A and B are shown apart, each in its own frame.
Chain A
Amino acid sequence: MIPHLLTVMAIYAILAVSLNLVVGLTGLFNLGHAAFFGIGAYTSALLAFAGVPYPLCLLAAVLLPALAGILVGLPTLRLRGDYLAMATLGFGEITRAVFRNWVGLTRGPMGLPGVPHPALLGLTIDTPGEWVATAFAGLALAWLVAELVGRAPLGRVLRAIREDELAVQALGKNPEPYKLRALALGAGLAGLGGSLYAHYVAFVDPTPFTLPTTIFLFLLIVLGGLGNHAGSVAAAFVLLAARESLRFAGLPPSISAPLQQLVFSLLLVVLVIYRPWGLLPEPHLRSGSRRAAG
Chain B
Amino acid sequence: MLRVEGLVKTFGGLRALDGCSFEAAADGITGLIGPNGSGKSTLFNCVTGFYAHDAGRVSFGGAPLTGLPPWEVARRGIVRTFQQTRIFPRLTCLENLLVAPAGQPGEGLLPALVRPPRVRRSEAALRVRAEALLARVELATHADALAGSLSYGQQKLLELGRALMTEPRLLLLDEPAAGINPALLERLVELIRALHAEGKGFLVVEHDMRLVMTLCQRVVVLDYGQTIAAGTPEEVAHDPRVLDAYLGSA
Q: How many residues of A contact B (CB 8 A)?
A: 34
User: When the two chains form their complex, are residues B166 and A171 in contact, meaning their CB atoms are under 8 A apart?
Assistant: yes
Given contacts A171-B74, A171-B162, A284-B146, contact A294 B124 (CB under 8 A): yes
Q: How distant is the Cα of A170 from the Cα of B71 in the complex, in angstroms?
A: 6
Residues of A within 8 A of B165 (CB): 171
Given contacts A172-B71, A287-B94, contact A153 B104 (CB under 8 A): yes
User: When the two chains form their complex, are residues A154 and B108 in contact, meaning their CB atoms are under 8 A apart?
Assistant: yes
Partner of A172, one of B75, B105, B107, B119: B75
What number of residue pairs across chains A and B have CB atoms under 8 A from each other?
Answer: 122
A94 close to chain B: CB less than 8 A = no
B230 close to chain A: CB less than 8 A = no
Residues of A within 8 A of B177 (CB): none
Partner of B71, one of A173, A185, A285, A291: A173
- Interface residues in B41-91 by Cβ distance below 8 A to A read 48, 50, 69-72, 74-75, 79-80, 82, 86-91
Q: How distant is the Cα of A167 from the Cα of B166 in the complex, in angstroms?
A: 13
Question: Please, which residue of chain B has its CB at the minimum distance from the CB of A177?
Answer: B107
Given contacts A164-B86, A173-B102, contact A159 B108 (CB under 8 A): no
User: When the two chains form their complex, are residues B112 and A152 in contact, meaning their CB atoms are under 8 A apart?
Assistant: yes
A145 close to chain B: CB less than 8 A = yes
Question: Please, which residue of chain B has its CB at the minimum distance from the CB of A153?
Answer: B106
Interface of A is mostly: helix
B115 close to chain A: CB less than 8 A = yes
B215 close to chain A: CB less than 8 A = no
Given contacts A148-B112, A294-B124, contact A163 B91 (CB under 8 A): yes
A264 close to chain B: CB less than 8 A = no
B27 close to chain A: CB less than 8 A = no
Q: How distant is the Cα of A285 from the Cα of B90 in the complex, in angstroms?
A: 11
Residues of B within 8 A of A185 (CB): 109
Given contacts A156-B95, A170-B80, contact A164 B88 (CB under 8 A): yes
Q: How distant is the Cα of A152 from the Cα of B122 in the complex, in angstroms?
A: 12
Given contacts A284-B90, A284-B92, A286-B144, contact A172 B102 (CB under 8 A): yes
Given contacts A149-B112, A154-B106, A284-B146, contact A170 B123 (CB under 8 A): no
User: When the two chains form their complex, are residues A153 and B119 in contact, meaning their CB atoms are under 8 A apart?
Assistant: yes
Residues of B within 8 A of A294 (CB): 124
Question: Please, which residue of chain B has its CB at the minimum distance from the CB of A167?
Answer: B86
Interface residues, chain B, with chain A CB atoms under 8 Å away? 48, 50, 69-72, 74-75, 79-80, 82, 86-92, 94-96, 98-100, 102, 104-109, 111-113, 115, 119, 122-124, 127-128, 131, 143-144, 146, 162-163, 165-166
Interface residues, chain A, with chain B CB atoms under 8 Å away? 145, 148-149, 152-157, 159-160, 163-164, 166-174, 178, 181, 184-185, 282, 284-287, 291-292, 294
Lowest 4 CB-CB distances: which A-B pairs, in order?
A153-B106, A152-B112, A172-B74, A163-B88
